[in-house]
Amino acid sequence: MKKMLILFLLMMFGLSACSEITLDSLQSYLKASASDAESEKISPLNNISKELFSYYLPQHVGRKVSSETSTILTSNNVNILMNLDVIDVISDTYYDTARSFRSMLAASQNLDSFDSTFLNRKGETITYRVSVLEVSDSLILLTLEGGYFMFTAITPIGLSTEILYDMLTIAKSCEVDGPAVLLAYSTRESIDYKKETLDMFSQIAPESGTVLDMISGGQPIELPSDNTN
C-alpha cells in the first residue's frame, strides 16, 4: 500500500523517481506522497517512548542521536531532524490563540510550500505545512511542521517523496506528554528553539554552511563538538 500513488505515477511515465522528479514537478509529487501518507492507517502502538513524547518508528527508519526534545532519524541514507516544539505545547496550555507555523528559514527566495491536514492518533485534525528550499540542482531542504513537531532533512530530489512519506507517518503517530513538558520547561526563563535546531542540524550536514546560513539568517552560529545523549 505504501506510496501506491507515487508508484502509479512513475509507471505511467515509465521513468524512475530520480530521473523524473525535477524542481518544476517536485511539488506535485510531494503532494501525492503526502496524500498517500495521510490515508495510511496509524500503527496501533508507538514503539519509541521518550520522557516528553512517544511515536511510531517504521522498521526501515533508524535513530542516530537524540536529546530531550530532538532526535536524528535516518531513512534511505538521509538524515531527518525531528524537533518537539516546546513553545507551542506551552502556548496551547496557557493561551487560547491560533497556532501559527514557525519560520525557521531566513531565505525567502526559491522557497515553496503547501498546507494540508492529517488525523493524529487521537482522531484530531492536524494542519501541517511542507516547505521546500533548493540547496543545489540535486538537493533540497525539506521541512514538515505540524502537531507540535518539525521535521527537517537535506535530501536528494529523487528521494524527497520517500522522506516526506516517512516524516508524515511518524508525525501522525506522535503523542506529547503535555504535563511533563510543562514541568520541564514552563519555569525556564527562555527556550531557544532555533539554537537547538541549529545545534542538532549541524550534525546532519556539518559541511553545509550555506544551509545553516539559510536557517540562521547569516548570524554567527556556535556549533556543538559532539552530542551523544
| Domain spans in the chain, listed from the N-terminal domain onward | 4-216
Task: Say how far apart CA 176 and CA 85 lie, in whole Å.
Answer: 10
At 57 the pLDDT is: 96
Task: Say how far apart CA 183 and CA 68 lie, in whole Å.
Answer: 13
Taking only the tens place, the pLDDT of each residue in 7-28 is: 444 444 443 444 478 878 899 9
pTM of the model: 0.77
At 97 the pLDDT is: 59
Q: Which position has the grid cell 520547561?
A: 185
In this predicted structure, which of 54-68, 73-87, 128-142, 187-201 has the lowest mean pLDDT? 187-201
Q: What is the mean pLDDT of residues 106-116?
A: 73
155 three-state secondary structure: strand
Task: Say how far apart CA 75 and CA 92 lie, in whole Å.
Answer: 31
At 203 the pLDDT is: 55
At 129, give phi and psi (nearest 5°): -130, 135
- Check if the beta carbon of residue 29 is closer than 8 Å to that of residue 9: yes
Q: What is the mean pLDDT of residues 126-139?
A: 89
Average model confidence (pLDDT) across the chain: 77
